């Protein structure tokens, strides 16, 4: 339609420059138009006296405006308005045609139950490719992970395991760097598996002024489909720990349906959850807890049961790796006086084989009773005063102890334990705790998640009834029952706490997981957490959870569960001296992985002078050893790229040394899976294709419009071009506009009775 009225395609107007080819300057036209308008105004004014009665008020001005516009328009045609545009010189330019050959192109959602690839061949293979070939030198590629040049469309099989549009564009651009590349035609469903197209690739195309024309295939919205969009699980957990899987799902056509989410390991169901699907296209995230089990690398499968009529069930399942670590982190619990909470926390941890609890109790002014130590000399001198001694623990709990009990150096050490070492710290209420113990006026106040009250009398031995906040309902720390609503109710029914403390106001960024009604006040913070530096700090505003043990049935394990979760929270994310990482543990049809390691010395300061090696073991046995190189921008950080040759699970042991001295080691697991990626995000990603075309000066095309492309693709500033002018005076829109002005005047005159 646009082309009918305006004589040229829309892209010509968007890329071309409007010029006046007439010999006279443009201001002459402007003067003449103004003079004509003035003359018309004068004539109309003179004749107003004799005019019919219908022409009064604002009406003469309308007539004047229409006639003036008509005159200006006719005059403009004398200046020969044209459009100036760069076009590709015939036979002197290369056009790259990139055809998606991935498995998602085999989905049968094209008209007539044809595959996307069939539709593509039909659209491109007939006249279009020949017409393009007549004008340009064609380079046709099939695309998957890489681009591969083909001679004809018959070479397309739809079997490539993934689509990486960015990589393919980058490759084609590089291959054709020495040739006059005039345009790129990309035919795909846009279901990119690399998470998008990076800015550098787009910038490079723009720099060469190469327009990328995109043609989208496949439905933009599925019929009925559920997809596991993403699953976030902790890369490492302690043995027999509960871990949280944050599962993001999206669906179309099944809103309101209840489906079952399952987490399995080697076929064994670890956890299940009934989920009500939200609105179409909305990504919803469900948290599911599961027990990580024994030590070892576990491949966790997340599945949604198939729903009747679902078109694509391959995207209902995905997997992640969880490394269940063979470590036993240590927590030091120091209390300033004998308290029941101390005893019952110790008892709660006796059944937990994953965390070792070492306790120190000030029984008298000068005596400290130590439990859980390995040697009689351990902690003999009291609370650790040396960095190596304190940093040997992963978690720290402080009971009823004054801030002043610690020396200035120990206070600094405590802060560094959290900030630099990345440890977890729990402060518990008590008659010498927090504000009662002067913590509010100590240098340690800055690491706390609350602003403590600046007064005494905050600790009271009176009942407090606990309850969860909204963040607490889903927290791994406070989850007593899997079902969030039931968990909330469970907390409400817990026996009252033996005492409570006013811990003041949570700081910005802190999370209140539980609150309490106590001392006539409702909603007082009970359990508050936040991150400080590399570590974590929590405050529990009571020392009276022991009543949960004594006042509930013998079989009830709430108290044990709460404290086991609490101590695991303290230590789970505490890093060792060598901390290995990868951006992703599951690689779907990818072969490159970046291994990084954060290496610290004994005091947990970055160690920039280490030698770091990764020893890899893959499905075929040893995968060799590579050295990680230091990152000059981040001291203590080392990295290396590794190419995964074959699909399967891999274990990388990262070893850091300084001379002959071993600094530490860490193990990380990752897995390459092929043939999976193309089952996900299978809808046509029109948004991505439109953006790519727009940002490079190209255009998004639907398959039906593809026949026009050979004509329009020649409008380009890349390659070998020629400047062309196209007339505008003879386009139908001009004629219709002038005719419209006259017709409007005539109709108005008719209406006003002044014809």
Partner 1 sequence: MGGPGKILVAILVLAIGGTMWAQRRSLRELADEEDNPAPWPADAAEKTEFVFARLRYMARRNGYFGRGGGAWSTDYPKADRQFVQGARRLTRLHVRSVEQVISLDDNEIFDYPWIYATEVGRWDFTPEQAAKMREYLLKGGFVMTDDFHGTFEWSVFADGLRKVFPDRSIVDIDNKDAIFHVLYDLDERFQVPGIQLFYTGQVWENDGYEARWRGVYDDNGRIMIGICHNMDLGDAWEWADLPQYPERYASLAYRVGVNYIIYSMTH
Cβ pair 569, 553 in contact under 8 A = no
| Shortest Cβ 428–partner 1 spacing (Å) | 13
The two tokens of residue 709 are 């492309």
Query: Helix count (H) and strand count (E) of the chain?
Result: 18, 38
Nearer to partner 1, 175 or 462 (CB): 462
Concatenate the DSSP letters of all residues of 384-436 into one string.
Answer: --SHHHHTT-SEEEE-S--GGGS-HHHHHHHHHHHHTT--EEEEE--TTSGGG
Nearer to partner 1, 328 or 347 (CB): 347
Name the minimum Å distance from CB 634 to partner 1: 45
Tokens of 683: 């809808």
CB of residue 375 to partner 1, shortest distance in Å: 17
Q: What is the DSSP string of 200-263?
A: HHHHHHHHTT--EEEEE-S-SS-SSEEEEEEEE--SEEETT-EEEEEEEEEEES-TT-EEEEEE
Q: How far apart are CA 127 and CA 409, in angstroms?
A: 82
- Indicate the residue among 182 and 495 with the shorter CB distance to partner 1: 495
CB of 342 to partner 1, least distance (A): 7
Q: Judge contact between 573 and 630, C-beta under 8 A.
A: no
State the DSSP code for 546: H
Q: Give residues with Cβ within 8 angstroms of 259, minimum separation 6.
A: 226, 274, 275, 277, 304, 305, 307
Provide, rounded to whole angstroms, the least separation between the CB of residue 431 and partner 1: 7
Q: How far is the CB of 334 from partner 1 (least distance, A)?
A: 13
CB nearer partner 1, residue 318 or residue 501: 501
Nearest to partner 1 of 379, 616 (CB atom): 379
CB-wise, 228 or 360, nearer to partner 1?
A: 360
Selection from 6, 25, 1, 12 nearest residue 728 by Cα: 6
190, containing H or E segment? none
Nearer to partner 1, 274 or 371 (CB): 371
Q: Which is nearer to partner 1, 104 or 435 (CB)?
A: 435
Least Å from the CB of residue 323 to partner 1? 31
Q: What is the dihedral of CA 22, 24, 28, 29, to 10 degrees?
A: -10
Instruction: Report, in Å, the least distance between residue 638 CB and partner 1.
Output: 45
Q: What is the DSSP letter of 507?
A: P
What are φ and ψ of residue 503, in 5° steps?
-105, 10
* Token pair for 535: 């570590």
Look-up of token digits 């294709």: 689
Cβ burial 532-558 (10 Å sphere, 16+ → b, else e) = bbbbbbbbbbbbbbbbbbeeeeeeebb
Judged by beta carbon, residue 319 or residue 549, the one nearer partner 1 is 549
Least Å from the CB of residue 363 to partner 1: 5
Residue ranges that bind partner 1, judged by CB under 8 A: 336-340, 342-344, 346-347, 350, 359, 361-365, 367, 369, 371, 431, 460-462, 498, 546-547, 549-551, 554
CB of 343 to partner 1, least distance (A): 5
Closer residue to partner 1 in complex, CB, 454/555: 555
H/E stretch holding 523: strand 521-532
């Amino acid at each position: 339609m646009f082309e009918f009225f305006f004589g040229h395609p829309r892209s010509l107007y968007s890329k071309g420059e409007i010029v006046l080819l007439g010999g006279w300057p443009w201001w002459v036209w402007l003067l003449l138009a103004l003079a004509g308008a003035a003359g018309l105004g004068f004539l109309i004014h003179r004749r107003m006296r004799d005019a019919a009665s219908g022409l009064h008020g604002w009406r003469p001005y309308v007539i004047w405006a229409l006639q003036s516009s008509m005159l200006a328009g006719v005059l403009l045609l004398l200046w020969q308005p044209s459009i100036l545009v760069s076009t590709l010189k015939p036979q002197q330019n290369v056009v790259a045609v990139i055809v998606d050959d991935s498995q998602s192109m085999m989905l049968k959602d094209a008209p007539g139950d044809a595959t996307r690839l069939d539709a593509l061949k039909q659209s491109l293979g007939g006249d279009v490719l020949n017409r393009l070939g007549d004008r340009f030198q064609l380079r046709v590629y099939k695309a998957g992970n890489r681009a591969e040049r083909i001679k004809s469309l018959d070479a397309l099989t739809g079997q490539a395991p993934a689509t990486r549009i960015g990589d393919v564009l980058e490759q084609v651009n590089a291959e054709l760097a020495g040739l006059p590349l005039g345009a790129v035609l990309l035919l795909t469903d846009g279901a990119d598996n690399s998470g998008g197209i990076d800015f550098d690739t787009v910038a490079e195309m723009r720099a060469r002024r190469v327009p990328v024309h995109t043609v989208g295939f496949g439905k933009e919205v599925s019929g009925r489909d559920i997809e596991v969009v993403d699953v976030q699980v902790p890369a490492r957990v302690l043995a027999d720990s509960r871990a949280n899987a944050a599962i993001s799902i999206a669906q179309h056509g099944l809103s309101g349906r209840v489906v079952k989410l399952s987490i399995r390991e080697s076929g064994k169901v670890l956890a299940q959850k009934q989920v009500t699907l939200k609105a179409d296209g909305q990504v919803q995230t469900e948290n599911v807890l599961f027990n990580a089990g024994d030590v070892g690398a576990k491949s966790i499968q997340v599945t949604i049961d198939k729903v009747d009529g679902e078109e694509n069930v391959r995207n209902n399942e995905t997997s992640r790796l969880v490394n269940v670590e063979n470590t036993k982190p240590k927590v030091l619990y120091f209390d300033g006086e004998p308290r029941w909470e101390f005893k019952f926390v110790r008892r709660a941890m006796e059944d937990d084989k994953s965390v070792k609890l070492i306790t120190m109790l000030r029984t008298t002014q000068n005596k400290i009773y130590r439990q859980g130590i390995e040697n009689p000399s351990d902690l003999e001198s009291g609370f650790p005063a040396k960095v190596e001694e304190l940093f040997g623990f992963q978690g720290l709990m402080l009971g009823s102890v004054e801030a002043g009990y610690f020396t200035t150096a120990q206070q600094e050490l405590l802060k560094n334990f959290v900030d630099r070492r990345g440890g977890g710290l729990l402060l518990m209420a008590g008659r010498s705790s927090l504000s009662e113990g002067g913590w509010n006026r100590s240098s340690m106040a800055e690491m706390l998640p609350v602003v403590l009250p600046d007064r005494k009398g905050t600790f009271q031995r009176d009942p407090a009834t606990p309850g969860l906040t909204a963040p607490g309902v889903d927290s791994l720390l406070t989850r007593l029952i899997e079902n969030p609503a039931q968990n909330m109710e469970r907390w409400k029914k817990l026996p009252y706490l033996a005492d409570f403390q006013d811990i003041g106001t949570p700081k910005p960024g802190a999370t209140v997981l539980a609150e309490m009604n106590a001392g006539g006040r409702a909603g007082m913070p009970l359990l508050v957490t936040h991150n400080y530096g590399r570590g974590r700090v929590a405050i529990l505003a009571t020392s009276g959870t022991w009543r949960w043990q004594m006042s509930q049935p013998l079989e009830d394990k709430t108290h044990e569960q709460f404290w086991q979760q609490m101590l695991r929270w303290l230590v789970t994310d505490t890093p060792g001296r060598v901390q290995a990482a990868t951006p992703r543990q599951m690689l779907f049809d990818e072969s490159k992985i970046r291994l990084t390691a954060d290496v610290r010395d004994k005091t947990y300061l970055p160690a920039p002078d280490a030698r770091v090696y990764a020893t890899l073991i893959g499905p075929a046995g040893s995968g060799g050893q590579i050295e990680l190189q230091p990152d000059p921008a981040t001291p203590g950080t080392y990295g290396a790229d590794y190419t995964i040759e074959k699909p399967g699970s891999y274990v990388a042991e990262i070893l850091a040394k300084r001379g002959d001295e071993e600094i530490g080691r860490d193990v990380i697991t990752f897995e390459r899976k092929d043939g999976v990626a193309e089952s996900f995000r299978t809808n046509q990603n029109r948004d991505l294709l439109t953006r790519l075309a727009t940002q490079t000066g190209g255009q998004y095309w639907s398959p039906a419009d593809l026949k026009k492309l050979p004509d329009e693709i020649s409008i380009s500033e890349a390659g070998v071009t020629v400047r062309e002018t196209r007339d505008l005076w003879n386009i139908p829109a001009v004629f219709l506009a002038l005719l419209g002005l006259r017709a409007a005047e005539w109709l108005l005159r008719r209406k006003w009775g002044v014809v």
